Amino acid sequence: MTKAEKKPVLLPKLPDVCVRCATCMAACPVSRVTPRFPGPKQAGPGAQRFRSASEASVDDWIELCTGCHLCDTVCPAGVPISEMNMMAKAKYLDERGRTFRDWLLVRSDLFGELAARFSKIINPLMKNGILRRLLDALLKIDRRRDLPGYEYPTFRRWFRTRSTAEGATGRRKVAYFYGCFTNTNETDVGKAAVEVLEAHGLEVVVPPQRCCGIPRLGVGDLKGAREMGRRNIEMLLPTVREGIDIVFSSTSCGLMLRHEYSRILHLPGAEELAGSLFDICEFLLRLREEEKASPIFQPLSLKAAYFAPCHLRSLNIGFPALDLLRMIPGLDVRMLEADCCGLGGLYGFKTEKFSIAEEIGKDLTEAAARMNPDIILTDCEGCRMQVRHLTGLRVIHPLQLLRDALNPS
Amino acid sequence: MDLKTEVLIIGGGATGAGIARDLALRGIPSLLVERGDFTSGASGRNQGLLHSGARYAVNDPEAARECIGENRILRRIAPHCIEPTEGLFVSLPEDGPEYRANFIRACAAAGIDALPLSPRETLAMEPRLNPRLIGAVQVPDGAIDPFMLVVENVRDAESRGARFLIHTEVTGLIRDGLRITGARVRDRIADKSYAIAANWVVNATGAWANLILGMAGIRIGLALSKGSMLLTNTRLSERVLNRCRPPSSGDIIVPNDTVSILGTTSLREDDLEHYEVTAEEVTFLIDELSKMIPDVKNERFNRAYAGVRPLLQSQEASDDREISRGFALIDHGSGSGSAGLVTITGGKLMTYRLMAEKTADFLCERMGLHVPCITHLQPLPGAGLGNTLRDRLLHLRRQTPAARGEILCDCELVPREAVDAILREGKVRELQDILHRTRLAKGTCQGGFCVYRLLGLLNELHGEQGSDGSNVVLRSFLEERWKGIRPILWGTALKEEELIESIYKGLFNLVPEEPGRTGGGAT
């Protein structure tokens, strides 16, 4: 269990900016499905009026916020509601203490490499009914949720040992922030990223990096998240200062690096890093728009649905993956009209929150059933897990399909 | 004669309700009539300050002693109406150390605990205070909810046989020779007039005292002083903050539940029915109080309001603050030929119980009864129940989601069940009565987003007004609300108001009252 921070969290004075219009109430996926969460307006600027840095928190509902940021994106008054909730959640959990489960889950980056190495043993174990019942009973990790399997070699190892594509050296460099999940659980996303970037005439470098820290932020562990951020900035800034742009393929890692490091964690150097940090599809789209590279996509005859993750929406960069996918001839790709998949990262793995995540996901299930696509594409690993769980369809990163369209083999 | 009672009390403020309770505890029947709802006058339009008396220690030691005595009693009998915040008397460089030294001595003499604090200690306690301060003194000030205090007095008195008629105004006094024997009253909602016979008539109408006395051809020397206050959107401090200097305008910030109240001004007022907070007063309060908390300049305000203090005019004085805040009990029998009529006025919320005690003592003496006062010993019925926003939140948290039900007021977390309970009691007659008894419409939006949710519930209450009933209620609520928010409309508050206006005008198609329009006219 992490030690509670004794220093009171100074809450920003933001409720004064809210005009009480309740637009956020219509956007919140959580309050839509459970009366236990009163919605962003009340849990954010409303409750902020009775929060006091010197007094104990009373609003335990704050834990039910998934941190999807949809409230922020719709607020016409510009109130950073989810930030307010994050600070309140941090204070509440600092006082109450975090569970062993939360301690464990946010450290998946530490045992991920090891688990990947022993994936042949670990993966069947994670599907073992008895073990899952135990995890459910002891740690409250819901047994109805599939745990993601580990892969070996890891992306990092694969990248180190691969032979660089011919003629790739000496080109314009781009750095890749792959994220923990790509590294140990979905290495093909990383491989696709590298191949697509190389197909666009770039040399890919992988600077040293760690977990972005968003899982820790999710359980309100500001101190832990700040520590992760501090180290990442330290490791990534030299790349930035060499004039190399950094791209990310996970929109949640990206939101953390690009926005939360400065906006919530106020880390020195965060702004400088953010200036050179791009979503990988945003980056590719710009390259193509500037006509610096435009490899031809081969036709793919598929009916695909694209689902925009909440954290992508929160990045305010439009839907660059969708724009790229639309360049693939023959691909029938349409937006999957659902607001949030409901997983909320680690949120949906927790027994007490499983049903909330399921309920939120119902919209998406129905929308997918109406479209009946062959495949669903989405930029976030959490969304991919949840959409697979909800629809049973093949769900991949848009990069993986772009790669297929570039190398039809 | 339609009704009969031993003591007829006119005025449902703290004093009137206190007298009704005091008499009830002594076994003397009474009936109270109030023109509006309880606390419609100064009792509901003040800073909600539980005085320690320190404010008066230097200038008026007698008032200071009275205050600290009542302060201790109220903490005992009405803990649920009080937030024991403590208070600080803050010295800024321009206030100098001399007044502070006098102040500490005077508090000691009046028996008020006064703890001197260094600038560092002070800023650690209240970080938003002006860092230039030279020191502070901690005194046992606090915050008090006057609405709850009065309603609790009423509840207790009622359970002991006292009767209360709200929305009932006195239209005349009934005279029998040299004696006043009752009053003619009119039910303002049902528009019915009748008479109430009484052996004693107590005029507890505060600033309106001369309005009642005029019906008997009497007039007393009463100065009316308007005090304006501003309400912030969030709470600025944990404690009551006073300037440590001679009493003056713009020298106090009182925390009240989720908000803070900035006060006050002091201006002569003649028209008791039409007074408002002026732009000059708003500017003055913000300028003056930003000296104590610099952030006040950037604060969002929810409302401005004013109350009228009845000040007894004992002598000619140029500044109302020099007129004694003491109260007077006047027997109109001896000099004015109106035996049976007494007036209790002056004073302040803090001394309401003492004023009631003196009034009841006087009546007992005249009746030849020897029953002692016990209001200082007997706690009010709800003592032990909390009603702060935090308490409401904890209450909601304990409830299962299914039982939680609809929350009517998002800002202040008032559940529908709270309003249902009040309606079931059957004592309220108007929308404003409900608003007085809950925190509804007291938050950021001032009811803009929640009062329309209440209209359905009110249907029964206003059935007699026909299909246009809801519009009448809504319109009169919005008129009243407008008075409070107009003086503070700038920045975000103004934006929000535009949105609220577009909801009422655009979506609800509510049009301003046309002059001469018949049907659901203003009441």
| Contact by Cβ (8 Å): B42, B309 | yes
Q: Which residues of A touch B389 (CB under 8 A)?
A: 49-50
CA B16, CA B123: separation in Å to the nearest integer? 41
The correct answer on CATH 3.50.50.60 for the domain covering B3-42+147-221+325-367 is yes
pLDDT digits (tens, 9 = 90+) for B221-267: 998 999 999 999 988 999 999 999 999 999 999 998 889 999 999 99
CATH class given for the domain over A15-96: mainly alpha
Three-state SS string over B364-386 comes to HHHHCCCCCCCCCCCCCCCCCCC
- Whether the predicted interface score ipTM is above 0.85: no
pLDDT grade for A12, boundaries at 50, 70 and 90 = very low
- The dotted CATH code for A155-289 is 1.20.1050
Task: Answer whether B75 touches A (CB < 8 Å).
Answer: no
> Which residues face A202 on adjacent strands?
A172
Task: Answer whether B171 touches A (CB < 8 Å).
Answer: no
The correct answer on CATH 3.40.50 for the domain covering A302-406 is yes
C-beta atoms of B393 and A13 within 8 A: no
CA dihedral in degrees (B448, B451, B456, B457; nearest 10)?
Answer: 170
Q: Which residues of A touch B404 (CB under 8 A)?
A: 35
DSSP secondary structure letters along B442-493: -STTTTTTTHHHHHHHHTTTTGGGGGGHHHHHHHHHHHHHHHHHGGG-SHHH
Q: Is the pLDDT of residue A217 over 80?
A: yes
> pTM of the entire structure?
0.85
pLDDT digits (tens, 9 = 90+) for B38-56: 999 999 999 999 999 999 9
Q: Find the range with the poorest average confidence among A125-129, B138-142, B409-413, B464-468.
A: B464-468
pLDDT digits (tens, 9 = 90+) for A103-155: 888 888 888 889 999 999 999 998 899 999 999 999 999 999 999 999 999 99
More confident: B425 or A362: A362
Query: Phi/psi zone of residue A130: left (φ > 0), alpha (ψ -120 to 50 degrees), beta?
Result: alpha
Give the per-residue pLDDT at A11.
44
Which chain B residue's Cα is nearest to A14? B234
Indicate where chain A has its CATH 1.20.1050 domain(s): 155-289
CA B271, CA B253: separation in Å to the nearest integer? 27
C-beta atoms of A58 and B235 within 8 A: no
Residue A409, burial from CB neighbour count under 10 angstroms (0-12, 13-18, 19+): exposed
The correct answer on CATH 2.40.50.140 for the domain covering B83-143+223-312 is no
CA B429, CA B425: separation in Å to the nearest integer? 11
pLDDT grade for B407, boundaries at 50, 70 and 90 = confident
DSSP-derived 3-state class of residue A2: coil
Question: Which sequence spans correspond to the domains of chain B?
Answer: 3-42+147-221+325-367, 83-143+223-312, 389-507
Task: Answer whether B415 touches A (CB < 8 Å).
Answer: no
| Contact by Cβ (8 Å): B92, B243 | yes
Residue of B234, B390, B499 with shortest CB distance to A19: B499
Give the per-residue pLDDT at B322.
47
pLDDT digits (tens, 9 = 90+) for B346-364: 889 999 999 999 999 999 9
Nearest chain B CA: its distance from A348 CA (Å): 20
Task: Answer whether B234 touches A (CB < 8 Å).
Answer: yes
Q: Which residues of B touch A20 (CB under 8 A)?
A: 410-411, 444-445, 448-449, 496, 499
Residue of A16, A22, A77 with shortest CB distance to B233: A16
CA B61, CA B58: separation in Å to the nearest integer? 6
Name residue B350's amino acid. Answer: M
Residue bearing tokens 């004075």: A13
DSSP-derived 3-state class of residue A217: helix
pLDDT digits (tens, 9 = 90+) for A153-207: 999 999 999 876 666 677 899 999 999 999 999 999 999 999 999 999 999 999 9
Nearest chain A CA: its distance from B302 CA (Å): 10
Q: What is the mean pLDDT of residues B418-443?
A: 85
Nearest chain A CA: its distance from B300 CA (Å): 6
Nearest chain B CA: its distance from A271 CA (Å): 28
DSSP-derived 3-state class of residue B172: strand
State phi, psi for B91 to the nearest 5 degrees: -100, 120
| Contact by Cβ (8 Å): B241, B253 | yes
* DSSP one-letter code for B510: -
Tokens for A173?
């460099």
The mean pLDDT value of chain A amounts to 91
CA B63, CA B69: separation in Å to the nearest integer? 10
Residue in B293, B388, B492 to test binding to A, most A beta-carbons within 10 Å: B492
More confident: B9 or A409: B9
DSSP secondary structure letters along A103-166: HHHTTHHHHHHHHHHTHHHHHHHHH-HHHHHHHHHHH-B-TTSPPPPP-SS-HHHHHHHSPPPT
Give the per-residue pLDDT at A167.
66
Residue in B407, B444, B490 to test binding to A, most A beta-carbons within 10 Å: B444
Indicate where chain A has its CATH 3.40.50 domain(s): 302-406
